[in-house]
Structures are given as C-alpha cells and as structure tokens.
Amino acid sequence: MRLPEHLQASLAAAQEQRLRGYRGRFAPSPTGELHRGNLRTALLSWLAARRRRGEWLLRIDDLDTPRNRAGAEEAILADLLWLGLDWDGPVLRQSRRRGIYASVLSALRRAGLLYPCRCSRRLLADISAPHGGLNVYPGFCREGPHAWGPEQGRLPSWRLRLPPGNLHWREGSSCGGWLDGATAVGDGVLRRADGVVAYHLATAVDELWLGISDVVRGEDLWSSTGAQVAVMQAVGAEPPAYTHVPLWRDANGERLSKRDRSEGLTGLRRGGRDAAAVIGELAASLNLVPAGSRLSARELLASLPAEGPLLPPPQQALRQPPTPGRQQAEV
C-alpha cells in the first residue's frame, strides 16, 4: 500500500534514524509495580543499547485506560532510576500518540486491508482451545458485508486482512524468527469495538515511527511479534531486530506477575537488598555474573565483552510458544 505523503515522509525519516545507530526501548504498561522479570528485561534492554553506544527510549504503554493504576507510572520511573537505568529523551506515552495511530488506521482502511468484525467475546470464547487460549480467528466476518457503522448500538472491531504465508523477522543472533500467518497469527484486531486502538497496531506503529532498531523483550511476546510484523508488512516497512529473552519463573515454574508485590522492588528492598544487590541478582540469573555479585548497572556494563551475543548460548535458545498472541482476545 502507499501511505499518505506526510506519513510516508515521517516513516522515511524514522527509518533513516534507525540506520544511524542502535535505538532500543523499554515499554512497560502502568498497571502495577514492575516485578523481577520486568526489571531483568529492562536491564538487558538497557545493556544492549549502552553496549552499542546507542539510545534507550522509555515508552509508557498506557492506551488501555481501565487497566492503568494510579501511581504506577511514577513507580516505574523511580524503580528504573534507583537501579541506574537511565533513558534518553523525554518519557514517551502512547496516550499522547493517538493521532498517528488513527492516521495509519485510516490509511490501512482506505487501502482495503481492514474489515469490520462483529464477533462477540462469547462467540470467540466458544472457539477457545481447552487450555484457555484462543485459537486463531477463523475469519467469520472476513467475507461478510463491510458495514462500518453501529448495529444494535455497537460498532465493529477492525481486523487486518492477513495474506497467506510466513511472517519473518530478525531474531537475536539466530537465523531468524517466523510464524505462519494463517495458523499462528490470523487476522488480528487493530481497533477494538470500543474504539480503543489495539495493542499490536500501537506497538507496530511506535517501533517504526520512533525508529526503533532493536527490541529486547520477554519470550511470552514471541507470538505477538507475528501480529506486529504483519502491520509493518502492510505499511511496507521492515521490522526491527528482536531478542526474546527467557521469562523469570517462581519456584513452582509459574511466570511472575505484577499481582505478587513481593517480586517487585518494594519487596526486595524490604528484604534488605540495595541496588547493587538487585543488579547482581538480575545479572546472575542470566549467568552474566557469579551468584552473590554486587555491582551497579554501569559496572555490569563495563564487565561485558564489547562484541558477541549479550546472553550466553544456553539462555539464547528460543521456544516458539504453542498459543497465538493476545490480539485474538480483543474485540
């Protein structure tokens, strides 16, 4: 598709910026305190950027207003600074970037790449897999009448019409990542029925229009990468390089949650840990330093080799998650 001239010009400028050097980001949602897994990902992302003498942006993904918690953003910023993880430029907030999301959505719709979907949450729940995750959207509304207005007082969600084939991206130091569009991604929602811009559209637009060259994030977002790469492909742009890192799990093998406040810095401080101890614990969990190390983020950075993978090979092995991404749950 051909973007409007102003969007094409701003995208071209952002892609030129990407080529000038490493540009990473950390993008938490203000839904609660960061847990150790979030903090470890932030540290890895910061190290990757600083080791390449690049930029590290901080973006607050606050579009889903009902899930935002008062004071969460301030706590996130304070935690990062306490650990010595400084960012470049002002804090970016998705809630202040709605204009560009709307412009890209309009361009996709004019190009015929979107279609309205009136499937309810109940209908989508009926096609859920036994383990609770939703199957790939089966395309109930793909070929139906494309009525964009309200029906029975309800607007449709907007889905991206995904062409057949695989979705590819650069993945860390490996040969690359991919997902089959038809069986693992499907036609993702880009605008919800309540009018809120969906996660994948906003994330994809931000990676492109902010000139992000590299994304370091948890491996639970592997399947989300397919949906975001689909948006980037639709606007004719190359995705950034991704590194999906292992999740930090508790003693029972369960992934950490923001609901467990003991796993955040508040609980760690209460247990007597200072910033040097926390950085050491985060780094030791990835075999970057011996267990029990105490050091600052800058000292950790100085101890790393200038070249080669950031993570040791055993930690860099990736698994393709068995279930599709969170876009399928949005209506």
Alpha carbon distance 181, 310 (integer Å): 30
Active site residues: 258
- Per the listing, tokens 């890209």 go with 104
E-assigned strand segments in the chain: 23-26, 55-60, 92-93, 114-117, 157-160, 166-169, 177-180, 189-191, 214-218, 241-245
Token pair for 300: 């950790």
Picking from 290, 330, 44, the residue whose alpha carbon sits closest to that of residue 199 is 330
DSSP 326: G
- How many other C-beta atoms lie within 10 A of the C-beta of residue 68? 17
Alpha carbon distance 24, 34 (integer Å): 19
DSSP 41: H
Picking from 102, 128, 116, the residue whose alpha carbon sits closest to that of residue 7 is 102
Query: What are phi and psi for residue 108, nearest 5 degrees?
Result: -65, -40
Alpha carbon distance 171, 159 (integer Å): 26
Half-sphere exposure of 130 (CA within 13 A, CB side): 0
Is residue 260 classed exposed, middle or buried when 0-12, 13-18 and 19+ CB atoms within 10 A define those classes? Answer: middle
What three-state secondary structure class fits 259?
coil
Token pair for 74: 């301030």
Token pair for 25: 């980001």
- Per the listing, tokens 């973006």 go with 59
Side chain identity at residue 316, one-letter code: Q
Which residues make Cβ contacts (< 8 Å) with residue 254, sequence separation at least 6?
Answer: none
